[in-house]
Structure 1
Amino acid sequence: MKQRLLRFLISGGSAAAVEYAVFITLQMALSDKWLFANQSLSFACGFVVSFLLNRHWVFQSHGHMGSELFKYGIVATINLAAGNLAIFLLVGPADIHPLIAKFLVMGMIAAWNYLIFSRLVFRKPAI
């Protein structure tokens, strides 16, 4: 269990690094006018890395990939909607710089993902 949590943190950190690097690059290239597109596209890049690492390395799942991807996608869609709302509130009314807001949002989402992924997405079949 401890090893799986460590792997989750490493894979999550890797996916977060990809997501944040893409976000910074897009923000620099496209500016704040494209904030939600930048947030969504960077999230999608992190999603791909996260799903593959979680499925194959963290949870070492042998379940049906399509089913797991579907469930993972539902969680990701909820996370994206929550992330976009949080970015809107942090950058708009709270007047926080977009790069700081993105970092905070990523932390918020990571906080609840381990439990959701381990209990709902990559659940070991009952024997």
Structure 2
Amino acid sequence: MSAQHFRELPRFLSVGVVNSLVGLSVIYAAKWFYNVGDIASNAIGYSVGLLVSFALNSHWTFAYRGPLSPALAKFLLVALVAYGMNLLTVMAGIHYIGLNDYIAQALGIPPYTLTSYLASKYLVFRAKPGAMSRP
């Protein structure tokens, strides 16, 4: 593992914590203050969390200097693929292995995180050859 991975991975994980806290706060606020239903508040919270994640990961984690619109589109696609990996793991754990629902949900986190990190690093925020990254 390179020195860059040792810098980026903790930042990526920290952004994940911030993203989760912001998203959850938005979900709770939408429900509590505006009486928004579960599905709508969840969608709003996750949308805000994804935007926070994109902003922090593009600037702080990966020091991306490229065009933001294509990167955002790729980032959203990566989030969808990572969610698919999470869901596949959870459903396989429950329906094929017979795991407890809560354990299966927890086991879905690593595939989501790994897929998201690797795809973000190598596809979404990949530095162009010769481009200098920020510290």
The answer to whether the superposition gives a TM-score over 0.5 is yes
In the alignment, is the contact (CA less than 8 A) between 2:82 and 2:115 conserved in 1? Answer: no
Whole-Å Cα distance in 2 between the matches of residues 39 and 106 of structure 1?
18
How far is the alpha carbon of 1:124 from its aligned partner? Answer: 1.6
Tell me the SS of whatever aligns to 1:11.
helix
Distance change >3 Å, CA 113–CA 56, structure 1 → 2: same
Whole-Å Cα distance in 2 between the matches of residues 13 and 4 of structure 1?
14
1:72 correspondence with 2:59: no
Distance change >3 Å, CA 112–CA 79, structure 1 → 2: closer
- Give the number of equivalent residue pairs: 115
Distance change >3 Å, CA 68–CA 105, structure 1 → 2: farther
**Structure 1: where are the runs of 5+ without partners?**
90-95
How far is the alpha carbon of 1:121 from its aligned partner? Answer: 0.4
Distance change >3 Å, CA 117–CA 23, structure 1 → 2: same
Q: After alignment, is 62-71 or 18-27 more displaced?
A: 18-27
Kindly report structure 1 stretches of 4+ aligned residues shifted beyond 6 Å.
Answer: none
Q: Which residue of 1 aligns with 2:27?
A: 23
Amino acid in the other structure paired with 1:15:
N
Deviations 1:90-109 (A, max 9, x none): xxxxxx8xxx8xx8599464
Identity %: 27
How far is the alpha carbon of 1:20 from its aligned partner? Answer: 1.5
- Root-mean-square deviation (Å): 3.5
Tell me the SS of whatever aligns to 1:8.
helix
How far is the alpha carbon of 1:70 from its aligned partner? Answer: 1.5
How far is the alpha carbon of 1:51 from its aligned partner? Answer: 0.5
Whole-Å Cα distance in 1 between the matches of residues 114 and 21 of structure 2?
16
Whole-Å Cα distance in 2 between the matches of residues 18 and 35 of structure 1?
16
Q: TM-score, normalised by structure 2?
A: 0.65
**Structure 2: where are the runs of 5+ without partners?**
92-100, 131-135
In the alignment, is the contact (CA less than 8 A) between 1:16 and 1:106 conserved in 2? Answer: no
Deviations 1:58-80 (A, max 9, x none): 00011111111121122234557
Larger Rg: 2
In the alignment, is the contact (CA less than 8 A) between 2:12 and 2:61 conserved in 1? Answer: yes
